[in-house]
Each structure stands twice: as structure tokens, then as C-alpha cells.
Amino acid sequence: MSNKKYQLLCTFAPKETLISTAKTISTSFELPYKKIYIYENDKNKSELIFTYNISGEYSSDQFLRCTILVHRNKDTNTLYTINALNFLICEINNGILDRKFPIPWENYNNLLLLNNKDELRKINLKLKDIVCWGKDNSLISNN
């Protein structure tokens, strides 16, 4: 497992598809940690946000529908895309994109940072559930 490349994915899905979306994720990818984190979307109450690590080489055209590649600051549980991070830097650095600019991550606890054209979007994340899967892709716990 240590030689494989991991990617953190974020899938957006309707609330009513929680179990079916989690099962689709678990059968579509190799999940090295056998966990899917499910967050409530503060901006859209009918939508859930699923995050999960996958191992192996996948291109974006192999991702599930409504899925993006994200990064995470573990200390603050901030999820972000690289484009959104660039928008954030410009926002807090007087419009100047400086990729070495220090991010005050503590100001962005439990947020998903996205960009929509020319706008930075900040979505508050509330952990709803952690779904764990066994080796045979059976649900082993639902915390």
C-alpha cells in the first residue's frame, strides 16, 4: 500500500442516496483506509458531501459523476481545490497571487473551499457520518 498514489476525492450527492452513493464509491475504487466521510452541506441541506481516499492511478474521467479532486489541511479539516486555494490567497493577500503566501488555516476550520468562475465559495462542513467497509465491501460500522 505504501507505493501507491493516493487521491482525495469529494463527491456531491442528494441526501436520499446516502447508502447507494457510499456503496457505489466502495465498489468503484480501491479505498485504502476503507472509510468514507460524509458531511452535511451547510449551503444546500438536501446535499451530502462524501470524501474518501482512493489508491491507484485514476484520471478525472474515471471519477463518479459530481466528483472532484480535493486536498486537505489535516489540522483544520479544510478541504480545498488548488484553484480555490489560489482564489483564497488573492483574497487575503490584497489581490496578489503569491504561492508562498502563508495561509492562516485556523481561520478556515471545517470548510470546503471551492471556486465558481471568479468567486471563492466557502461551505461549512458538519460531519454527519463515517462509513467503514470491510474487505468484501460489506458495511462493518456506521459511526
The pLDDT assigned to 87 comes to 95
pLDDT digit string (tens) for the chain, length 143 residues: 455 689 999 999 999 999 999 999 988 998 898 999 999 988 888 999 999 999 987 778 889 999 999 999 999 999 999 999 999 999 999 999 998 999 999 999 999 999 988 899 999 999 999 998 766 666 665 65
Contact 31, 52 (CB under 8 A): yes
Handedness of CA 78, 61, 21, 131 (dihedral sign): negative
Query: E strand or H helix at 88, and its extent?
Result: helix 82-92
Residues present in the chain in total = 143
Q: Can you give the pLDDT at residue 70?
A: 96
Listed residue (39, 45, 3, 44) closest to 21, CA to CA? 39
